Structure formats: C-alpha cells, structure tokens
C-alpha cells in the first residue's frame, strides 16, 4: 500500500511545500549522521558550531526516500502554477548536511545553490517549544524559520514564518531567501538540509555522477 502524504501549499510568490516525513526516514537520517563527521561549516552561512556533511554512501541510502518527497513537490508545483511540465525534471542530489543548533546560534538570511532545497526537522526539544510559545513578537520566534520574498507594500505577502514540528519537511526553490532565529533554551535543535540541481554543474561532473546515475536508474 502506498503511503499517503498530507501537504500544505502556500499561495504567495514561490512554491513552498510543507509535508511530514515518516518515522523510518527520520531515524535513518539521524543514524547515518552518526557515521559522518565531515565539517561542513565552510560551505554554509550558519553561525552554528556543528554542521556536518553526509558522505556519498549515506546519500545513496537516503536518496530513494528523498526522491519520493521531491516527486510530491513536483506534483504540487504543477498544480501551483496550473501547468504540467513539458518535460519532467531530472535532479541530482548535490549536497546534504545536518545542523545541530544550540543556544544563541542562528542562520542569517541566505539562499542555497541548485534548483530545489529542503529542510527536515529531526528534533525539536520541549524546552524550545515552550520558549517559542511564550515569545511575544511578530517574527518566527525562537527556533523558527522565516522565508522572505520581495519588497512589496504591507498588503503583500512577503514573508512566511513557521515554528516547525518534529518530522516537518519544507521544500522550496533554492534561490528563496530564508533565515533561522536563535533561541536561549539549553537544548539542541536538529535539522537536515540539502540541495538538488536540475543539471550537473560542469565543474563538478565527477562528484555528481554517482548520484545522477542512481537517481536515473541507469546502469554503468
């Protein structure tokens, strides 16, 4: 029986999709992260002490599930723009990393490389939930994420703010600016992020080739 996935699509500029991953996938993301110690901070914008990249072996294990959710995004996107693809996109998983965000750490406004990006929330501690609930203000609040698009007048929707739940996955265009607020609670908020390219960058063909071949189911 195929798994049913409930999603929310938000009507503003870019197509942003929020969905729920299954427990099996969340556990696999966390277990594979334990086998990867590659420091990823020099590739990221975050003011976060622990950001670790997944290696190619882990990417291959995670790619089938990631592809399933990316397929859901493609369906939602076609409904969002009310136009089917003339040619189905072909993606390669270009980067994948895990963030262990601690007190006072944050991600400043930034965007990503590639075509499509995503973030998955693997741990939202109770202390952080309480802090965010008690927050009084207009931003996304402690530990929240905010997407920013355009500079229109106040009657335009230019931001979308969320305090994520554990198991949430957001998929969005890689160029969409977003930021993550800091928090004070003594806990660790864990999220996994990644980028998909819709074509192989010419300066990195060798590194992209394994993921491209696997996702296309082409035999060597």
Report whether pLDDT(14) > 70. yes
- State the pLDDT at residue 4: 82
- State the pLDDT at residue 214: 41
Domain annotation covers residue 189: yes
* Mean pLDDT along residues 121-141: 96
pLDDT tens, position by position, 167-209: 999 999 999 999 999 999 999 999 999 999 987 555 554 555 5
- State the pLDDT at residue 218: 35
b/e map of 14-35 (b: 16 or more CB within 10 Å)?
ebbbbbbbeeebbebbeebbee
Report whether pLDDT(144) > 60. yes
Report whether pLDDT(216) > 50. no
Residue 47's domain spans which residues?
7-216
Top-confidence residue, 83 or 152: 83
Domain annotation covers residue 111: yes
Domain annotation covers residue 125: yes
* Residue at token pair 């750490």: 105
Domain annotation covers residue 2: no
Strand pairing partners for 39? Answer: 52
Report whether pLDDT(215) > 90. no
Q: What's the predicted TM-score (pTM) here?
A: 0.86
What is the tally of structural domains in the chain? 1
Domain annotation covers residue 127: yes
Domain annotation covers residue 1: no
- State the pLDDT at residue 219: 37
* Mean pLDDT along residues 2-18: 82
Alpha carbon distance, N-terminus to C-terminus of the chain: 31
Q: What is the mean pLDDT of the chain?
A: 89
Top-confidence residue, 212 or 113: 113
Report whether pLDDT(28) > 80. yes
Strand pairing partners for 98? Answer: 52, 192
Report whether pLDDT(96) > 60. yes
- State the pLDDT at residue 50: 97
Residue 2 per-residue DSSP state: P
Q: CATH number for the domain including 23? A: 2.60.120.620
Rounded to 5 degrees, what angle do the CA atoms 215, 32, 174 make?
Answer: 50
- Strands 116-123, 168-173: pairing kind: antiparallel
């Amino acid at each position: 029986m195929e798994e049913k996935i409930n999603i929310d699509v938000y009507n503003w500029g870019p197509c942003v999709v929020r969905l729920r991953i299954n427990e099996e996938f969340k556990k696999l993301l966390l277990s594979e992260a334990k086998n990867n110690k590659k420091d990823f901070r020099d590739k990221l914008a975050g003011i976060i002490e622990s950001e670790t990249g997944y290696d190619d072996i882990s990417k291959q294990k995670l790619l089938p599930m990631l592809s399933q959710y990316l397929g859901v995004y493609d369906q939602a996107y076609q409904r969002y723009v009310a136009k089917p693809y003339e040619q189905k996109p072909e993606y390669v998983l270009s980067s994948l990393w895990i963030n262990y965000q601690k007190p006072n750490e944050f991600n400043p406004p930034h965007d990503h490389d590639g075509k499509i990006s995503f973030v998955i929330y693997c741990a939202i501690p109770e202390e952080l939930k309480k802090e965010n609930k008690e927050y009084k203000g207009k931003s996304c609040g402690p530990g929240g994420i905010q997407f920013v698009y355009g500079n229109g007048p106040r009657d335009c929707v230019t931001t979308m703010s969320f305090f994520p739940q554990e198991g949430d996955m957001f998929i969005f265009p890689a160029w969409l600016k977003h930021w993550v607020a800091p928090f004070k609670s003594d806990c660790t908020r864990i999220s996994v992020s990644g980028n998909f390219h819709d074509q192989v960058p010419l300066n990195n063909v060798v590194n992209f080739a394994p993921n491209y071949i696997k996702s296309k189911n082409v035999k060597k």
